[in-house]
Structure 1
Amino acid sequence: MVDVFDEVEEQLRSDRYKSLALKSLPWVGALAAVAILGTGGWWGWSSYQEGQANKASEAYQAALENGAKVGPAKAFPGFEAISKTGSTAYKTLALIQMGGIRLEENKTAEAVRYFDEAAKLAPNPVLADLAGLNSALALLDTAPYKDVEARLTPLMGEKSPYRVQAKEALAFAKLQAGDLAGARGEFSVLSSSLDNSSDEVRQRAQGAIAMIDSGSAKNLSAVVKAAIALPPSAALTLPSGPQAAPDTAPATAPNSAR
């Protein structure tokens, strides 16, 4: 049986999850990579308790390997098959993969539909919140602020495994919506919060505060929209400028379905 922790690690290294929200803001892409990190402990144990875990695991691994060879689009049918016939946990992961593939293709509405379906199907809160976070990140640059806020708020509870990532995403949503004061307040908390164990989150928060204080955040929404309108290769190589937050997520075009 394929080790579930190897699969989670494989996804963690995936270019897609590292750059899922890159189109929204230059350094938000790191959120998605961090988001998947916590799935191993809880889901890794419970998924093995299901009767068809071995078969589903092998099919899922085969789909990952196929995606690495032929690319995300051609790997989609494999994940789609798992989403219909696999165990509940693997169905959920397959739906998240499908959403990520559609997001790469700029099919945001379809991607969100798969993420939302995964959130409803998920066998535990860890995978449910992971799918919900992906859904919110996918909508970060297109949906009204209130819609994004409504998706992120349930993920910010004390027991949510992705509360820090959800709070960071909400801060960026406020920043993009033009609520600079509100965004600065959120980033200020993130930069010093004891709830936050990630130096990268603190650094991004400090970088965002510096951008707000320098006045360069005023035209952020227009800049993001212009970047989204560019071809993917151009958008991913836009200069970030002196106010860019440190430790930006790698700006590389997704090239695998791992």
Structure 2
Amino acid sequence: MVDVFEQVEEELRSDRYKRLARTWLPVAAVVVIVALIGALGWWGWDSYQSNRAAKGAEAYDRGLEALRESKPADARAAFQEAVEQGNGAYKALALQQQAAQALDANKVPDAVRLFDESAKATRDPILSDTASLKAAWLLMDTAPLAELESRLTPLAEDDRPLHAFAQHALALARLQHGKAAEARSALVVLQLGQDVPDAIRQQAQAAIAMIDSGTVAALPKIVDAAKAAPPPAAPQVAPASQAASPASAPAPAAAPTQQ
């Protein structure tokens, strides 16, 4: 009698396991397939980005070499190839080089456009903020204050990598447009700041002295000196043969001088 009960119980367990299997095995299969597709998709995307980084690095290096050899046409072609084939970092850097070439040809509007495109091409805050800051400096003498403020205010936030440079540029823009009190307050903060580069601190002191003495005629010289001060260098790039990701990025071009 005990054997009969055990056999019945075993058959019931077997039926229960079969029902569970019919219910959950399709679900498990779908989960496995989705995970496999996701893994393959991520691998494909990573390979694609690595390939773009390598192509961008190679083209960018050829552009720099062409510049060193005084071959501007070859440099433009190489930088354009980096823009079209490179990943975000190398595309941004190549656009900045194209902007510098536009400045050499005295094509300021083209340079501003290329710097703006460079800022949008990468998520690296050092590269993007450097490009945005250069564009703002190029517009310093011609753009209305509202446009300069819209460009510089986000860059001047304390958590941005070039905030001291942007705060200085914003103060000088306001000073040029007659807002001396606002400009002086910002310049005093820069003068006393702990993490302010020496060049910016000295220019802030000069601007404060100019405001206090009423020597408005000295403002253009201060603006020109500020435009010539380069931002901090970005991390150096690995050789093109080693480039595999946008994490490596060469230092951006020096800040533009007055045209």
2:191 equivalent to 1:188: no
Report what 1:253 is aligned to.
none
Distance change (3 Å), C-alpha of 1:160 and 1:249: closer
Report what 1:161 is aligned to.
161
Contact map agreement 1:156 1:167 (CA 8 A) in 2: yes
Look up the equivalent residue of 2:75 and give its one-letter code: A
Contact map agreement 1:208 1:245 (CA 8 A) in 2: no
Deviates more, 1:198-207 or 1:98-107: 98-107
Report what 1:200 is aligned to.
199
Q: What do residues 81-125 of structure 1 show as CA deviations (whole Å, max 9, x unaligned)?
A: 211122221111111111122123222211111111112221333
Provide the aligned C-alpha RMSD in A: 2.9
Q: What do residues 26-46 of structure 1 show as CA deviations (whole Å, max 9, x unaligned)?
A: xxxxxxxxxxxxxxxxxxxxx
Q: What do residues 209-254 of structure 1 show as CA deviations (whole Å, max 9, x unaligned)?
A: 11222222x2457xx4xxxxxxxxxxxxxxx69xx989x859xxxx
1:140-151 matches, within 5 Å, as 140-151=140-151
Distance change (3 Å), C-alpha of 1:135 and 1:249: closer
The separation in 2 between residues aligned to 1:147 and 1:164, in whole angstroms, is: 19
Look up the equivalent residue of 2:57 and give its one-letter code: S
SS at match of 1:50: helix
Q: What do residues 8-42 of structure 1 show as CA deviations (whole Å, max 9, x unaligned)?
A: xxxxxxxxxxxxxxxxxxxxxxxxxxxxxxxxxxx
Report what 1:177 is aligned to.
177
Distance change (3 Å), C-alpha of 1:50 and 1:107: same
Look up the equivalent residue of 1:106 and give its one-letter code: N
SS at match of 1:70: coil
Q: Identity across aligned pairs (percent)?
A: 43
The separation in 2 between residues aligned to 1:134 and 1:110, in whole angstroms, is: 13
Report 1 or 2 for greater relative contact order, CA contacts < 8 Å, sequence distance ≥ 6.
1
SS at match of 1:202: helix
2:132 equivalent to 1:132: yes
Distance change (3 Å), C-alpha of 1:70 and 1:145: same
Distance change (3 Å), C-alpha of 1:106 and 1:176: farther
Shift of 1:74: 6.0
The separation in 1 between residues aligned to 2:175 and 2:110, in whole angstroms, is: 26
Uncovered stretches (5+) of structure 2, i.e. residues with no partner = 1-48, 231-252, 255-259
Give the TM-score of the pair, scaled to structure 2.
Answer: 0.62
The structure having more radius of gyration, on CA atoms, is 2
Higher helix share: 2
Look up the equivalent residue of 2:171 and give its one-letter code: A
Look up the equivalent residue of 1:205 and give its one-letter code: A
Report what 2:213 is aligned to.
214
Uncovered stretches (5+) of structure 1, i.e. residues with no partner = 1-48, 225-239, 251-256
Report what 1:117 is aligned to.
117
Contact map agreement 1:207 1:245 (CA 8 A) in 2: no
Q: How many residues align?
A: 183
